[in-house]
Amino acid sequence: MTRTDSADVPRPDAQLHFGVFFQGVNHWTIWSDPSSGSQIDPASFLRVARTAERGLFDAFFLGDGLRLRESEGGVHELDVAGRPDSITQLSALAAATERIGLVSTSNTTFNEPGDLARRLAGLDLLSGGRAGWNVVTTHNAWTGENFRRGGFLDHADRYRRAEEFLSVARAVWDGWAEGAVAGSADARSWSVPDAVARVRSKGAHFDVDLVPTLPRSAQGHPVIFQAGDSGEGRDFAARQADVVFSAHGTEFDDALAFAEDIRRRLRAAGRAEDALRILPGTEIIIGATEKEAEEKERWVRLEQVTPAVALGIASRLWGFDLSDRDADGPLPAEDPVVAAYEGKFGTRQLGETLDTVAEWRAKAEANGWSLRETVIELGPQRGHVGTPAGLAERFARFVRHGAVDGFNISPYLVPDGLDDIVDLLVPELQERGVYRSAYTGTTLREHLGLAPVG
């Protein structure tokens, strides 16, 4: 075992936590390869979850998208699509797995707390305390159209609603006292009298009067994840979350700056710095040699950024339709129309600023890149590329210096995309003492090393 116990390493005993992000709707999962399988066949996500469990991952993670992405008046056909309701999908997995955590992204803007808390409590109970809830505020108005609400609430109000939502959810999960079920044939009643508390809550967003329907799970409450990168989002995470799913996990300095910012916000919220785990999303590309890894990355990027995808990404950056341009030609000569693009897309892929376009132009010119090459080199998808040993060294540094607590890994191929990671990378991490060699608990909270719910 090679461990670095030097005084320069702030967390020599730190352990990495892995989740797998089964993306559903996206254009980064390669569908054009013969080995790629269905996104919606249970055999696919079961295979991914079981591989992750074999690799001792903490969690299997699903995003939330209540509407397909759209562009130019139709469904965005370049996306892989198909996303069963996450709690339904995770319930199927609960029956087919034993240890791995099951995390549902569910938004607080278009759900109601009494209902969502009850469904999450059901998943948590039936899985033996393995549920997690990634709380998002879903920032787009087009999702709101599903609910005849359109652009519902401004940004700050969404986080206020999320805060109130979570406090109602926690009251629901606390509704049944420990020992609320009498559990004896001699008892006068099945449940202990007065052991189930009514939840009454009236605030700016909710007016709730309900009787919780379920006892606490083996882990007390579902583990709270948060994904949202604004100042309000980070403060919300610091006050409320157990885990942050961030987009800051590729460059060490960026990851460390994010982690330090979250720790500062935790201190300001009166919480301990180790009360929260930071798991950035990432993609991992492995080769037997550095050269092989780079070649594989090249193949992955060309499959992901097809000419049509490159033009789609450029259209969103420039703010108008570029689908009739030549992706293998130069960058558009026109200036971007900043902030004018109102497409029905999820998280904006790029900054959409004049500065970004200026940087793209300068780098494309200096390197002789086509538009597609430029999108591949400078576009949004980033991850870690290397040999199993090289990646293990890099990740050990990330976690021992407090830049991350682990990664939420998106496989670029489904369902086999985790195999290399589990078979080649995990053993290298174990050898370096930064990854578990067996599950030591049964609940998601225990896997993450979080304190029990009070």
Chain residues binding ligand FMN by CB under 6 A are 63-65, 105, 107, 136-139, 227-230, 232-233, 245-247, 281, 347
Minimum CB–partner distance for residue 102 and ligand FMN (Å)? 15
Minimum CB–partner distance for residue 278 and ligand FMN (Å)? 11
Degrees, nearest 5: CA angle 155-160-164: 145
Minimum CB–partner distance for residue 231 and ligand FMN (Å)? 8
Question: Which of 25/392 has CB closer to ligand FMN?
Answer: 25
Query: What residues have CB less than 8 Å from 160, skipping those under 6 apart?
Result: 204, 205
Minimum CB–partner distance for residue 85 and ligand FMN (Å)? 13
Minimum CB–partner distance for residue 411 and ligand FMN (Å)? 16
Question: Which of 215/222 has CB closer to ligand FMN?
Answer: 222
Nearest CA-CA partner of 92 in 22, 166, 36, 174: 22
Question: Which of 193/231 has CB closer to ligand FMN?
Answer: 231
| CB-nearest residue to ligand FMN | 233
What is the chain's alpha carbon radius of gyration, rounded to the nearest angstrom?
Answer: 23
Minimum CB–partner distance for residue 244 and ligand FMN (Å)? 9
Question: Which of 123/293 has CB closer to ligand FMN?
Answer: 123
Question: Which of 179/231 has CB closer to ligand FMN?
Answer: 231
Question: Which of 306/349 has CB closer to ligand FMN?
Answer: 349
Minimum CB–partner distance for residue 233 and ligand FMN (Å)? 3
Question: Which of 178/342 has CB closer to ligand FMN?
Answer: 342
